[in-house]
Amino acid sequence: MARLYANENFPLPAVEELRRLGHDVLTIRETGQANQSLSDDAVLTFAYAEGRMLLTNNRRHFIRLHREQHDHCGIIVCTVDPDFVGLAQRIHAALETQAQVSRPLIRINRPAQ
């Protein structure tokens, strides 16, 4: 299963569901780095140092960092979705089908209603 790092804007219920699905998810709160106004670059650098893919709802900034920065283990950018279980299950499915690519950028979108 995947080693993931959830930044501050990623919903805790989705983290809990990913853990239930077997993923090793660390949150920014658990590292003691929450509410410190860390830059997105610092968050991504920490995830890389820990060997974890980053989970975020901050799509625009992290897609830009993906294009600019080569040192990361992967970034999963998600649209905001109040169906936290469904969000986690879509992430899980994407990770299961993801080819072994260096520095993947995985986009998880909320289904159309």
pTM of the predicted model over 0.85: yes
Query: 79 Cβ partners below 8 Å, 6+ apart?
Result: 57, 59, 108, 109, 110
Take residue 70 and report the two structure tokens written for it. 């080569």
Segment 20-67, tens digit of pLDDT: 999 999 999 999 888 888 899 999 999 999 999 999 999 999 999 999
Domain layout of the chain by residue ranges? 3-108
Domain 3-108 class, CATH top level: alpha beta
User: With left for phi above 0 and alpha for psi between -120 and 50, is residue 74 left, alpha or beta?
Assistant: left
Report the range of poorest mean pLDDT among 46-50, 67-71, 80-84.
67-71
